[in-house]
């Protein structure tokens, strides 16, 4: 059985109607702003072709969100990603890969478009 752990740092603000679902580990740093309707999920379903999806075991990962991060409304943060210190995730973006420190990432999947100055 999973033993989920969720860590939330100091001065972090979590908006309305958010979903944080952990089967392993989700770590959210200090001074993070999370807009409304954000989903942060550290697991997913298997995708093998020879077994129906509903019968496959969950794939379990992790999520690390650094300090001073802003996650816009409606964003989705999926498993096995690290969002670096000072990063900004645009509204309704889907994060499927690591985002570097101070990067501004938008889209689905989220891509870095520039860096904070």
Rounded CA-CA distance 23/34 in Å is 20
Q: What is the DSSP letter of 54?
A: G
What is the residue whose two structure tokens read 């603000």? 13
Among candidate residues 26, 34, 43, 105, the one labeled active-site is: 43
Rounded CA-CA distance 100/81 in Å is 10
Torsion of CA 89, 94, 98, 102, to 10 degrees: -10
Rounded CA-CA distance 52/48 in Å is 8
Residue 45 is among the residues annotated as catalytic for this protein: no
Which sequence positions are flagged as catalytic?
43
């Amino acid at each position: 059985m999973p033993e989920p752990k969720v860590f939330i740092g100091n001065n972090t603000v979590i908006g309305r109607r958010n979903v944080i679902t952990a089967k392993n580990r989700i770590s959210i740093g200090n001074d993070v702003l999370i807009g409304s309707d954000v989903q942060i999920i550290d697991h997913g379903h298997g995708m093998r072709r020879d077994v129906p999806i509903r019968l496959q075991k969950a794939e379990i990962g992790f999520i690390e969100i650094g300090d001073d991060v802003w996650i816009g409304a409606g964003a989705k943060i999926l498993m096995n990603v690290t969002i670096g210190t000072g990063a900004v995730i645009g509204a309704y973006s889907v994060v499927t890969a690591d985002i570097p420190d101070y990067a501004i990432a938008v889209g689905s999947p989220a891509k870095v478009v520039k860096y904070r100055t």
